[in-house]
Structure 1
Amino acid sequence: MTQGPASVEFQQVVKRYGAFTAVKDVSFTIEPGTLVTLLGPSGCGKTTTLRLIAGLEMASAGRILIGGQDVTRLSAAERGVSMVFQSYALFPHMSVLENAAYGPLVSGIDKAKAEAMAAEKLRLMGLSGLEARLPSELSGGQQQRVAVARALVLEPTVLLFDEPLSNLDAKLRRRVREDIRELQQSLKLTVVYVTHDQQEALAVSDRIIVMSNAEIAQSGSPRDLYERPANLFVADFIGDANLLDAEVTPLDEARAEVRLGNVVLELPRRGLPAGKARIAARPEALLLSSTAPAGPALQGVIRKAAYLGTHMEYTVTTPQGDVFIVDPQVGRPLAIGSDAWIGFSGGGVTLVPAPMAEPKV
């Protein structure tokens, strides 16, 4: 296969295990040199999709193309892809250098050249000086970097990550995900990345493919998915969202008047007819106050309050249901049981076009 970043294309791909369908009629295209995340809850089909790209599973129907070449029936070794596993899968009895050089060695490259190739990729990952150590002598973040270096040694056309940060603590996850993104951009790699962590997906991706029940629920940029979710499942899964009942009155083809209790908003219509609908309101888009504001606002009572250092989190009971709010004002927290009013900022509120069944977990 041609070296350099390659495209990945699924054409109506299906994967069945007996009567169970793990991937159902999935089609997408990943452009060369981009990082695309497969995101979704457990059992949605994202890891099976990644394994289909890798050649660790064979499609029951449809076609898989890498770099324009049909690889549907090719083995994993013939596809020019490398995978970084959730467990890292490092050999505990081998040094860092030996782990990184393993791929070239088993492919027939002589030891001196294989170790030179491995040393260069270890340097790229900031691991120079650690070549003689065993995996057990490294931190979790360093082990993860060794796994990435090993995957890069054979210069794959596509690099695959399966939940690569799940074994790391929160602070280290943020640093390593930034490293992965920087590496991908500097080397112009095609990366397919699997996670169930929405923040991780938003932080690293050029594009996100959200999966539910073995199908694609929505595909788009992080901003598209967060600000313009295609359905209730995506609205609720990508970040936090308050899903509230509303009444829609179309104003024209593009805009609609949306009534939520005594609050009237003008929002993009998103193709909805007149009648009942639901809006997704992001917690950070809601304005909380202890006194009635001049404009329309939902009135409620503070039911829960939590201090998280940089912000407060509140649950407010209203006639429209419980509303979750993230408030940056930490100096004067509102007391549980006190009256509160919820206003709406200029963004972070959208009509949700269509219902979608909850995923089976």
Structure 2
Amino acid sequence: MNQILQDRPQPAATGRSKAPAAVEFRAVSKRYGPVKAVQDVSFSITRGTLVTLLGPSGCGKTSTLRLVAGLEHPSEGRILIDGQDVTHLSAAERDVSMVFQSYALFPHMTVMENVCYGLRASGIRRAEAEAMAAEKLATVGLAGFEKRLPSELSGGQQQRVAVARAIVLEPKVLLFDEPLSNLDAKLRRRVRADIRELQRKLDLTVVYVTHDQEEALAVSDRIIVMRSGVIVQDGTPRDLYERPSNRFIADFIGNANLLPVTIRRTDAVMAEVRVGSASLRLPHRDVADGPAELAVRPQCLSLRARPPGQGELPGRIRKAAYLGDHMEYEVVLDELGTELLVEDPAMAKPLQEGAAVAVALDPAGAVVVPA
């Protein structure tokens, strides 16, 4: 950002109990007729953090965001913002602001008029509203754009106007609904970095919705992964990527190869994991003895020409693609018939399609999950 506001002053420490969560869901469900879009969801969001609701289409993440905003009301359960029960309050009574996927800018109003709109509607005088709006426009790098119409801005600039309009109201919670989906890939990376920087500098509490795993990993303090209206896993980006709790998370967060394995515990922590004819010693993570699956990231596999050594699996390259900084191979394992995706650094003489290879697994990138 071209100009950053100073951090908001923090309250002095007292002997009282800690402040309530910025957002709290207590056993919240939302039904649309016979369909439960959100099912018994509970979580809390600490002030000053960015938490992402992530999941495939239809998982309930947008319905959950709309429940926070007050655009929908729960069928069951309670919603608290800053310790206040807002379950039955309207959106206007909740002190939250939302940046929509479409930005929802008024096309006939200038940038300044768009950012001032909420302030003027709440009764603030024009001069004061414009001063506040100018400050926020400078914060998002749009000083000097005040007189332009939305049609005269790029997609990234329109998105920044929408953010300025939301934060000028200084809400308790700022909501983002798929804010980068209308941007091209390069601009998306830059704008998501801007959002993260702004959130940290202004100590904002943000609830962010996306279906893009990379975007979620890049911007979040915490990620809540949803599927079919329920929370599947809740943790830091590193937790979800390196320690998925189940097959769905391993497959959804980044690319993962899933291999059928047999597990036999050797002590309270470690287990012998049989993958075809190979054997690995890995943490069993309380997965029961017997059939299980091994999630392995593509970059944690390596290839070389046969014959396979100890702990390696024989296979054959089905496809090979040059992607600039690395080669991407699809390899079919001889023993299991399983297809693997392997990412190897680009070599001067890459392996060719049809080549017989030995596949080695890096135990540091392999995680046992229930079958």
TM-score scaled by length of structure 2: 0.93
1:333, distance to aligned residue in structure 2 (A): 1.4
- The secondary structure found in structure 1 opposite 2:129 is helix
1:294, distance to aligned residue in structure 2 (A): 4.1
1:167, distance to aligned residue in structure 2 (A): 0.4
Structure 1 CA distance for aligned equivalents of residues 32 and 66 of structure 2: 14
Structure 1 CA distance for aligned equivalents of residues 208 and 349 of structure 2: 41
Map residues 1-361 of structure 1 onto 2, 5 A cutoff. Answer: 7-292=22-307, 294-318=309-333, 319-320=335-336, 321-353=338-370
AA in 2 matched with 1:274: D
State whether residues 315 and 356 of structure 2, in contact with CA within 8 Å, keep that contact through their aligned partners in structure 1.
Answer: yes
Q: Which residue in the other structure is 2:4 paired with? A: none
- The secondary structure found in structure 2 opposite 1:288 is strand
Structure 1 CA distance for aligned equivalents of residues 99 and 247 of structure 2: 32
State whether residues 257 and 265 of structure 1, in contact with CA within 8 Å, keep that contact through their aligned partners in structure 2.
Answer: yes
1:111, distance to aligned residue in structure 2 (A): 1.1
State whether residues 213 and 253 of structure 2, in contact with CA within 8 Å, keep that contact through their aligned partners in structure 1.
Answer: yes
TM-score scaled by length of structure 1: 0.95
Structure 1 CA distance for aligned equivalents of residues 365 and 77 of structure 2: 38
Q: Which residue in the other structure is 2:3 paired with? A: none
1:291, distance to aligned residue in structure 2 (A): 3.5
With over 3 angstroms needed to count, the CA separation of the structure-2 counterparts of 1:203 and 1:264, relative to structure 1, is same
Unaligned runs of 5+ in 1: 356-361
The runs of 4+ residues in structure 1 deviating greater than 3 Å are: 3-6, 291-295
Q: Which residue in the other structure is 1:358 paired with? A: none
AA in 2 matched with 1:315: E
State whether residues 225 and 232 of structure 2, in contact with CA within 8 Å, keep that contact through their aligned partners in structure 1.
Answer: yes
Name whichever of 217-226 and 320-329 sits farther off.
320-329
Name whichever of 291-300 and 89-98 sits farther off.
291-300
Structure 1 CA distance for aligned equivalents of residues 174 and 307 of structure 2: 54
1:27, distance to aligned residue in structure 2 (A): 0.3
Q: Which residue in the other structure is 1:359 paired with? A: none
1:331, distance to aligned residue in structure 2 (A): 2.4
CA offset digits 1:20-74 (Å, max 9, x no partner): 1100000001111000000000000000000000000001100001111111011
Structure 2 CA distance for aligned equivalents of residues 305 and 349 of structure 1: 23
CA offset digits 1:281-334 (Å, max 9, x no partner): 111111111243543211111001111111111100113200111111342211
State whether residues 307 and 330 of structure 1, in contact with CA within 8 Å, keep that contact through their aligned partners in structure 2.
Answer: no
- The secondary structure found in structure 2 opposite 1:239 is coil
AA in 1 matched with 2:310: G
CA offset digits 1:137-158 (Å, max 9, x no partner): 1111100000000000110111
RMSD: 1.4
Q: Which residue in the other structure is 2:15 paired with? A: none
CA offset digits 1:250-276 (Å, max 9, x no partner): 011111110101221111111122111
State whether residues 280 and 363 of structure 2, in contact with CA within 8 Å, keep that contact through their aligned partners in structure 1.
Answer: no
State whether residues 310 and 330 of structure 1, in contact with CA within 8 Å, keep that contact through their aligned partners in structure 2.
Answer: no
Structure 2 CA distance for aligned equivalents of residues 156 and 316 of structure 1: 51
- The secondary structure found in structure 2 opposite 1:11 is strand
- The secondary structure found in structure 2 opposite 1:312 is strand
Structure 2 CA distance for aligned equivalents of residues 127 and 79 of structure 1: 28
State whether residues 309 and 358 of structure 2, in contact with CA within 8 Å, keep that contact through their aligned partners in structure 1.
Answer: no
State whether residues 308 and 314 of structure 2, in contact with CA within 8 Å, keep that contact through their aligned partners in structure 1.
Answer: no
AA in 1 matched with 2:30: K
AA in 2 matched with 1:58: H
State whether residues 273 and 282 of structure 2, in contact with CA within 8 Å, keep that contact through their aligned partners in structure 1.
Answer: yes
Structure 2 CA distance for aligned equivalents of residues 135 and 330 of structure 1: 47
- The secondary structure found in structure 2 opposite 1:113 is helix
AA in 1 matched with 2:172: T
- The secondary structure found in structure 2 opposite 1:10 is strand
State whether residues 10 and 28 of structure 1, in contact with CA within 8 Å, keep that contact through their aligned partners in structure 2.
Answer: yes
State whether residues 101 and 179 of structure 2, in contact with CA within 8 Å, keep that contact through their aligned partners in structure 1.
Answer: yes
State whether residues 140 and 164 of structure 2, in contact with CA within 8 Å, keep that contact through their aligned partners in structure 1.
Answer: yes
- The secondary structure found in structure 2 opposite 1:126 is coil
- The secondary structure found in structure 1 opposite 2:364 is coil
